[in-house]
Amino acid sequence: MDPAAVRTWLLELQDELTQALEQCDGSGRFRRDAWQRPGGGGGESRVLRDGALIEQGGINFSNVHGPSLPAAATQVRPALAGAAFEAMGVSLVLHPHSPFVPATHLNLRFFVAEPVSAAPVWWFGGGFDLTPCYPWHEDVLLWHRAAAAACASCPAGSYQRFKDWCDRYFLLPHRGETRGVGGLFFDDLCEWGFAPTFAFARRVGAAFRAAWLAIAERRRCLAWGERERQFQLYRRGRYVEFNLIHDRGTLFGLQSGGRTESILMSLPPLVRWEYGWQPLPGSAEERLYLDYLRPRDWLGEAGVT
């Protein structure tokens, strides 16, 4: 276990994503805010607003520690309740201007817990997912091919394991729909040993960057109008609902006394709700609900093994 190496890589990842997204956007620049947590640790938030491509996006690094793990981090490991901890990670959320460029999320994190009467326990968590309003099937396949490639050198079945976990996690049960078209999600991952798990986390970060940039370049110049914009704002409401009701990362940040502005940078800048809204039969909006907001074997259906 080498927390210093993980921290160095996470800072490098934040820089690499910042540079790549500023180059892709073409006009926007990330504002950088360093912050300290009163309970221990700190980080740097980077937020881009009103760029050419990105309406609002953030790339946060945090490295915090404290005397007791928050409840959001002990749901799967109740035996660690009360353990001292160190947590570090990079979290990215992008909300593009264009309704045709999908919103997206990446999180990679590393925890070390130190129970009073036991050896330290470490694990990695994170993943990425894609939230289109107007999906293209070839984009979804590209996304899941990148996810499968990141898992290629892991134990057999890892892509399916983490793909299914993503489908279960990014679910809005009160709506009966997934947040988007999924990707990868994993937590409490340590059974492979430190070096292989750390290597996997690095591959996930690289796969995310390549896949989302490719999709954004495909769709950024497509013309859209007020109908598409209003649907995008409506669908952003689902993003808000998930992050405030279900997301463990949001809960952990708030419970651990993290910086509220940084934790809630994942929320879109503009959003709307509409009572009883229904898509028109046969519309592109209905197609999202019928064909995409549910778990599917994307690669298997396409004959990709």
**C-alpha distances out from residue 111 to 162, 172, 186, 250, Å:** 19, 26, 13, 16
Task: State how far the Cα of 56 lies from the Cα of 278, in Å rounded to an integer.
Answer: 27
Helix (H, G, I), strand (E, B) or coil at 213: helix
Asked about 105 being catalytic, the answer comes back as yes
Q: Which amino acid is at 304?
A: V
Q: How would you class 294 by CB atoms within 10 Å of its CB: exposed for 0-12, middle for 13-18, buried for 19 or more?
A: middle
3-state secondary structure 244-292: HHCCHHHHHHHHCCCCHHHHHHHCCCCCCCCCCCCCCCCCHHHHHHHHC
Nearest Cα neighbor of 53 from 92, 103, 97, 104 is 97
Which position among 95, 97, 105, 144 bears the catalytic label?
105
Q: Contact 59/105 with Cβ under 8 angstroms? A: no
Entry field: residues in the chain: 305
138-154: burial string, b at 16+ Cβ within 10 Å, e else: ebbbbbbbbbbebbeeb
Q: Which residues are known to be catalytic?
A: 105
